[in-house]
Amino acid sequence: MQNILYILSGISDVSLIVLIFLWGFDYARKEKPKHNHHFGLWTLATLALTVVLMFAAGSGK
């Protein structure tokens, strides 16, 4: 069970890195369309998921 939590935490870490870059690219666009992507909210949710998975796996001991 602990290995599965570590794998899920790693997957959420990779998605967190991707979402941070997408959020930055979306913010830096020259033309500002209406923001319907919500990359910032997905980034914060993935960060919270990563922290929860790491503590559930026992990394915070």
The answer to whether 32 touches 49, Cβ cutoff 8 Å, is: no
Say if residue 34's pLDDT is above 80: no
Cβ neighbours of residue 5 under 8 Å, at least 6 residues apart?
Answer: 53, 56, 57
Average pLDDT score, the chain: 85
Report percent pLDDT > 90 for the chain: 33
Q: How confident is the model at residue 36 (pLDDT cuts 50, 70, 90)?
A: low
Say if residue 39's pLDDT is above 90: no
Say if residue 29's pLDDT is above 90: no
Residues in the chain: 61
Say if residue 60's pLDDT is above 70: no
> CA 42 to CA 34: how far, in whole Å?
17
